[in-house]
């Protein structure tokens, strides 16, 4: 039988991309094959195509993409046949920016009712990340005062909605002046970088920007407060005053999803289904999409992402 | 009625001490009055008498001392009369280096069976601290690989014993060459400061020394590892690489006991009774005492503490 091919975004390893045909993966065991309808862009993709953030072992080296939504079109020999034809979404270690993706069936989440398949491809990475960071890492609870550094992007807009839905009081720093109104409409108070010092104390600070905030983060932290670091695009190293950390009985935690084992992603997928799908279905939370691009325009999409100043997600769409 | 006096260690505010008579406290409400038999010395006392670490509100300004053991000799009007005459120990926000101390009855722990009252005054601060840091802050569990920086002191020798008792594999850095054998006899592997890099990965690193280890601590940390900082005598500020923190999904937590509310100390006292008293009674763990000094020799005791190189606790004893 001739090898079956598919279209995919392929990294040239120097920051540039090409759209090209490549081998379609084959689902084995409990894996399923998903025909991708949409795939969100993430900061990690930009690093990966520059050769700076190689995928974890077992994932495609040259196809970026950490999230997708689509339809199950084929099954591994042990996968459940009830999945065939279902609208699903999920996170993968790489390879989601292609026509087809293989994934363990247990890592799938059904596309929530009322959400378009086109938009759903921008949900998993940012909402998994925001949910994990705020609730599982940060222990967010009713009435917590939360600050999110970098509120306008994909994770930021997801985190604002989730924190608000859980009864937190949410503040956000937003660098782009023109973006404040849009971010406020998600239900939070926006701050410029200059307004952050003195705006605390916060129970949780979600750091999506970089180490430059670390000193003021500690300063603005409440007793027993938690700083969760999941983005350091604007710099990774900083001074830290451990005496303040002790006096506040505070905690600084770093986290990342990509390298996690399939089993951990399964647990996260189940939490997602249980806690987030109903919120999507009721319209309490929604994917925020800045712009859709056809997969053929992937280079333009990456350029737009790189420029910054987007509100929510940039999503590549694939033919139905 | 004439005011009743007592002997106490009094700070001159410049690092020197005097032994002097001062007003004896009166137990109110659910407080009890303890006639102190022994009071351990701690790093915080040295800072306090230099005017660098004032006690939290409500505790004596000029009498150092965070821990004691003794006998209940008087009761506040709501305290339980079953306590009268009982051998007890506890932590306070200050004032324990005196003949008498007042404390909330719920913060007391009975002196464990088989432990001398003279030695018990050196137990609470170090064992509360080590228990809290390893188990409540660090989440220590069976089979964890633990490293303790500064293993020879009061908290260090307590932490080694507790971690060993819980089934951890314990490593310790010890600065003083001559001390290694004694520390090893507590059931751990000792390392010089130079041997620490490359000795990991560790699930928990307990930092009792200072910020200078922070970089290598992160380097030697296992995935999902925890650094718990409870001592920064040798320096409080350092660089930190948040990218490593993220990649290891690690956590850095600071903690301190002294400023905690009475209610929190009550919870800790109950945990102590339940989890640690049986271990003392069975001889599985024991207070490690470097040397006893009469309260009249407090200045010498402080000087010895300051010099470093002690193994376990330095304890002041008070007349029976």
pLDDT digits (tens, 9 = 90+) for B13-47: 888 999 999 999 999 999 999 999 999 999 999 99
**Which two tokens mark A6?**
């598919």
Residues of B in contact with A214 (CB under 8 A): 240, 242
Q: Do A253 and B250 touch (CB under 8 A)?
A: yes
- Say what percent of chain B tops pLDDT 70: 99
- The complex scores an ipTM of 0.92
> At a CB cut-off of 8 Å and minimum separation 6, what does B253 contact?
A245, A249, A250, A251, A252, B137, B138, B226, B227, B228, B229
Minimum CA–CA partner of B241 in chain A: A237
Q: Do A251 and B246 touch (CB under 8 A)?
A: no
Residues of B in contact with A245 (CB under 8 A): 229, 252-254
CB proximity A253 to B under 8 Å: yes
Instruction: Calculate how close chain B gets to A262, using CA atoms only, in Å.
Output: 16
| Bond before B156 cis per omega within 30 degrees | no
Domains of chain A: 5-123+260-317 (3.90.180.10), 126-254 (3.40.50.720)
CB pairs under 8 A between A and B: 99
Instruction: Calculate how close chain B gets to A70, using CA atoms only, in Å.
Output: 29
How far is it, in rounded angstroms, from Cα A132 to Cα A257? 9
Q: Does the CA dihedral B44-B46-B48-B52 come out positive or negative?
A: negative
pLDDT of B2 reads: 58
B1: pLDDT strictly greater than 80:
no
How far is it, in rounded angstroms, from Cα B102 to Cα B74? 9
* Residue B156 CB-half CA count within 13 A: 31
CB proximity B240 to A under 8 Å: yes
**Residues of chain A predicted below pLDDT 70:** 1-2
pLDDT digits (tens, 9 = 90+) for A206-220: 999 999 999 999 999
Instruction: Calculate how close chain A gets to B267, using CA atoms only, in Å.
Output: 16
**Which residue of B204, B209, B240 is the best one to mutate when testing the A interface, meaning the one whose CB has the most A CBs within 10 A?**
B240
pLDDT digits (tens, 9 = 90+) for B228-241: 999 988 899 999 99
**Which two tokens mark A7?**
């279209």
How far is it, in rounded angstroms, from Cα A165 to Cα A283? 11
How far is it, in rounded angstroms, from Cα A25 to Cα A60? 10
Average pLDDT over residues B142-164: 96
How far is it, in rounded angstroms, from Cα B67 to Cα B65? 6
| Greater model confidence, B53 or B277 | B277
* Farthest CA pair distance, chain A: 67
Q: Do A240 and B243 touch (CB under 8 A)?
A: no
Nearest by Cα to A148 from A138, A160, A165, A131: A160
CB A188 within 8 A of CB A167: no
Classify residue A271 by burial, with Cβ atoms within 10 Å: 0-12, 13-18, 19+. middle
| Greater model confidence, B51 or B283 | B283
Minimum CA–CA partner of A225 in chain B: B253
CB proximity A252 to B under 8 Å: yes
């Amino acid at each position: 039988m001739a090898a079956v091919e598919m279209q995919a975004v392929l990294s040239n390893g120097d920051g540039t991309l090409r759209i090209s045909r490549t081998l379609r993966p084959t689902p084995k065991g409990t894996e399923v094959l998903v025909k991708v309808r949409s795939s969100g862009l993430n900061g990690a993709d930009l690093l990966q195509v520059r050769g700076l953030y190689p995928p974890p072992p077992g994932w495609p080296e040259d196809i970026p993409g950490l999230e997708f939504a689509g339809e199950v079109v084929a099954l591994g020999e042990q996968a459940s046949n009830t999945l065939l034809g279902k609208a699903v979404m999920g996170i993968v270690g790489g390879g989601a920016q292609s026509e087809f993706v293989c994934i363990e069936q247990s890592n799938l989440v059904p596309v929530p009712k009322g959400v378009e398949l086109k938009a759903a491809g921008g949900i998993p990475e940012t909402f998994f990340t925001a949910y994990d960071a705020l609730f599982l890492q940060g222990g967010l609870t009713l009435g917590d005062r939360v600050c999110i550094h970098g509120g306008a992007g994909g994770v930021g807009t997801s985190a604002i909605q989730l924190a608000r839905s859980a009864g937190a009081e949410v503040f956000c720093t937003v660098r782009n002046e023109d973006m404040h109104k849009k971010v406020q409409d998600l239900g939070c108070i926006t701050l410029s970088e200059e307004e952050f010092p003195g705006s605390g104390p916060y129970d949780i600070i979600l750091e999506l920007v970089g180490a430059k905030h670390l000193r003021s983060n500690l300063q603005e932290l409440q007793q027993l407060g938690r700083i969760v670091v999941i983005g350091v695009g604007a710099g990774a190293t900083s001074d830290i005053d451990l005496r303040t950390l002790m006096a506040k009985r505070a905690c600084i935690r770093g986290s990342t999803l990509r390298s996690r084992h399939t089993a951990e992603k399964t647990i996260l997928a189940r939490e997602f289904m249980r806690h987030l799908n109903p919120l999507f279905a009721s319209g309490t939370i929604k994917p925020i999409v800045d712009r859709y691009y056809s997969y053929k325009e992937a280079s333009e999409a990456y350029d737009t992402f790189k420029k910054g100043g987007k509100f929510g997600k940039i999503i590549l769409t694939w033919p139905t």
